[in-house]
Chain A
C-alpha cells in the first residue's frame, strides 16, 4: 500500500467522492490528465489553483512557478508544451487580456504537449476593475473554451481539455467564474495516470517560427484544427441535455446550475427541454437538432449574449424562425452575474407562470463593513506621510493591490486607477500635460509585473513624477504569494516555494538596483515607520525637477504575523483621561482598530498591531503602549 499523500488532492483512489472547492477540482482534473508544468500569476478568484500547485508540485512531480506576469506565465508554459510537456497556466480574466499578445499567435504555431490556460472570470466585478467575457476567445482567436457550471464540470473539463489540446494541437482555455472557483461541490475522483509525456524538443523551425512565409500555411492549418476541435466537442460529454417539451432553455456556466435548479424546484422537467453549453465552439449540428425540437428558446448566460447570438445565427441559417429570448429580449440584464432569483423570474416569464411573490422583508439600514487597510499596515503610514508632504492638490495615481484601499476617506491616496502598472504611466501623462509634479503609488509585485517598462518610459521622458514603490515583500492581496523582494526568493533563484522565514533584514537593494540601473538618478530608500528619514526623503523628492523614486520598505503586517506566530508589537491604548475625543486619529488615519463605544474612542487590543502611527498623530499625548497602562 502506498502511504497517505500529503495533500488530499493527490489521493489515488478512483471513484471516491469528495466535496472540493472549484479551484481544487481544476487542480485535480489537471493531475488526472498528467500535468507536468504549471505556472501562474495570482489573481482572485483564480489564486487557489496556483497556491495548491505550489504546495503539491514536488509530490506530484510538476514543475511549478509563480511567474512575474501573465504574459510570461503563458509564454513559459507554451514553451514547455512545445517540448511535449502537458502544461497549464493560471490567471484571472484580466491576465488573459494582458497575455493577449502571445495568446493570439499560439494557435497558429500549435502545441505539442496538451496546453490549458485556466482563466477565472469575475462577473459583477467583485474583485476586479471590469467584467469581461473570455468565451469570446473562441471566435476571436480560435481557442476551444470550456465553461464549467460546477466543480465536477471543472474537473472533467480540465482533464479533457488536455486531451483535446494534444489531439488538435490547439491551446485550450478553461474559464470558471467566481461562483465555480469559490464554490464547493461533489466531485468523483478519477484515476491518476501512471505515465507522463516524454519530454523532447525537436528542432523544426518551419513548424515553430511564424514568420510571414510560414504564417500563411499555419493559418490554413488553424482553420483545420479548429474544425477538428468542433467535431470532437460534438461527441464530448459537455453538452448534456435533459427534460422534454417544446420550450427550450439553453444555458452555460453557473447560470446552467441555477436554471437546472429552478426546473427541478418548480418540477418543470416535463415541460422544458434543457441544454447545457459546456464548451465553445458550440457544435453547429447540436444547435440545429435542438432548435428543431423546440418552439421557443430562452438563453441563460452571464455577461455578453454570446450563446444567444450564436443560437440566433444558427436559427437563421437553418430557417428556424422561432423566438430566441434572453438579454436582447429583456428577460435578463446585460450586466452582472445572475442569481437563482433572476433566473427563476425569467423562466417563469418565459413559461407564462406567475412570478414568485416577493417577500416583503424590510432589512433595517445596517452599517457596512467595507474592506480597509489592516491595522499596522505600512501602506497607511506611507500614504499619511506622502500626503502630509505633497498635500491635497497633488494628484495621486494608484495601482492594483491592497494599496488601492488608499481610495477615499481619509487617506485620499487614489485619484486614478486603471490596470497593473498604470500608476506610473498615468502619472507621467498627467504630469506632462499639467506641468505639475504627480505621485504614482505601486507595490513590489505590481512593479515587477508591469511597472518596469513603464519606468523605462518614464526615465526617457523625465517627467516631474515621484514614484513611491510600496515594498511589503509579498503579493498580499491575492493571498501572500512571493514577489521578487520576498527574502527566500533571492537565494533560491527561482520562485518555486513560498518563503518560510520572516524578513527581518530585507533584500532592500533589489528594487533600488533595478531603478538606478534603468537610469533614475534620484532614488530614496526608506522605512515608512522611520518618520523623520521618510519625511526628509519625501521633501527632497517633492523639490526635485524630474523623475524620482522613493522606495518604502516594510513587511506586510498580516504576512509578518502569520509567519512569526508571535504576538507581534505591543498594542496601544487610549488614555480616556487625556483623550478629548477630538477624533483626529480617526479622521486622518482610518485605522479599523480604533472603534467607538458610547461616544468614546477605543483601540481594539486584539486588532491593534502597535504601529504607533496614531500615537504620533495624537496632539494630546493620549495614545500610549498598552504595557505602560497596565503598570
Chain B
C-alpha cells in the first residue's frame, strides 16, 4: 500500500463517491460496504436520498475501519471517486493534499443550463472540464482524470460507469482488498441486468488504474 494514500496517523479508509442520480453511486457504495463487511472490516456509510432523483447531485461516503460516524469531516477523504466532473468539484470540501481523486471527465449536463440560456441568465455554460480537473489537482496532486463513461460504453453499456470507477479504485491497490477478491465477492450481488458489461467495465477500470499508475508514487 502506498503511504501517500493514507492520511497522517489516522486509521481507516474514507471514500467519498460523488455523481448524479442514475449513475450508480449508491450501488457502488453498497457493494463496497458489503465486500468490506464480509471481509470482517468495520464499515459505515452515509447517503442522502430523500429528494435525490435522476439527474440530482448524489454523494455517498464509505468509511472502512475509521470509526462510527457516517459523515466524513471536511478535508479528510482519503479517496474521492467522482463519477462526473462538476460533482467531483462539488466534493472539493472533502479534499486535501493527501486525498487521491479519480475523476470521470464525461459531463452530465444539468438541465438548469438550458433554462439559464433560455432566460438569458448568467452561467449558462457547463464549466470547462480541464479547468475543473486543474482546480481539483491544485488541491490534491494525486488527481487522475479520464473518460470513464467511454470505457463503460466500450464494455457494453454506459450504465456500467460505476463498475469502471470501482475497478479503478480497487485496481489502485490502495484498499485492504485486491481487485480480484473484491470482484469475486460482489459479482454474485450485482444486479443481473448488465451482467457481462459490468464484468468488462470493472476490468476496464482495473486496466485504467494500471495505465494511469494510480497505485504508483506521488507525482
Contact = CB atoms under 8 A, between A and B. Distances in A.
Interface stretch (A379-387, A455-463, A542-550, A583-591): A583-591
Contacts of A409: 115, 119
Nearest to A363: B92
Given A184-B45, A339-B71, A369 B57 contact: yes
Contact of B123 (A365, A370, A371): A365
Nearest to B85: A366
Interface stretch (A28-36, A191-199, A258-266): A258-266
A540 interface: no
Interface string A262-299: 00110000000000000000000000000000000000
A344 B73 contact: yes
The size class of the interface chain A forms with chain B is 35 or more
A17 interface: yes
- Chain B interface residue count: which class? 35 or more
Contacts of B126: 367
Interface in B109-131: 109-119, 123-124, 126-127, 131
Given A186-B37, A366-B89, A596-B109, A260 B73 contact: no
Contacts of A179: 46, 70-71
Contact of B10 (A265, A369, A607): A265
A257 interface: yes
A363 B67 contact: no
A258 B71 contact: yes
A45 B50 contact: yes
B213 interface: no
A189 to B, nearest CB: 12
Interface string B181-215: 00000000000000000000000000000000000
B217 interface: no
Contacts of A261: 67-69
Contacts of A150: 44, 68
A361 B92 contact: yes
B148 interface: no
Contacts of B174: none
Contacts of A17: 37
Contact of B33 (A19, A127, A340, A358): A19
A344 B126 CA distance: 36
Contacts of B54: 374, 607
Contacts of A183: 44-47, 70
A594 B112 CA distance: 10
Given A126-B51, A340-B73, A361 B111 contact: no
Contacts of B89: 363-364, 366
B50 A596 contact: no
A182 B51 contact: no
B93 to A, nearest CB: 6
Nearest to A342: B73
A592 interface: yes
A359 interface: yes
A592 B44 contact: no
Contacts of B154: none
Contacts of B50: 44-45, 122, 126-127, 178, 182
B96 interface: yes
Contacts of B137: none
A583 B117 CA distance: 8
Contacts of B2: none
Contact of B118 (A182, A257, A265, A586): A586
A183 B60 CA distance: 9
A127 B51 contact: yes
Interface in B22-61: 30, 33-34, 36-37, 42-51, 53-57
Contacts of B20: 369
Contact of A186 (B44, B71, B116): B44
Contacts of A372: 55, 111
A596 B114 contact: yes
B75 A361 contact: yes
B97 to A, nearest CB: 9
B182 to A, nearest CB: 15
Given A260-B68, A367-B127, A368-B110, A359 B42 contact: no
Interface in A39-71: 44-45
Contact of A369 (B70, B75, B93, B110): B110
Nearest to A260: B68
Given A367-B86, A596-B114, A341 B92 contact: no
B114 A595 contact: yes
A178 B48 contact: yes
B218 interface: no
Interface in A163-187: 178-179, 182-186
A274 to B, nearest CB: 13
A364 B51 CA distance: 24
Contacts of B92: 361, 363
Contacts of A587: 115, 118-119
B156 to A, nearest CB: 16
A583 B113 contact: no
B56 A19 contact: no
Contacts of B47: 182-184
A19 B122 CA distance: 45
A207 to B, nearest CB: 42
B55 A257 contact: no
B139 A361 contact: yes
A576 to B, nearest CB: 15
5 contacts: A126-B48, A184-B33, A257-B69, A586-B117, A586-B118
Given A184-B30, A364-B132, 7 more contacts: A44-B50, A122-B50, A184-B44, A184-B46, A369-B112, A374-B53, A409-B115
Interface of A: 17-19, 44-45, 122, 126-127, 149-150, 178-179, 182-186, 254, 257-258, 260-261, 264-265, 339-341, 344, 358-359, 361, 363-372, 374, 409-410, 583, 586-587, 590-597, 599, 601, 607
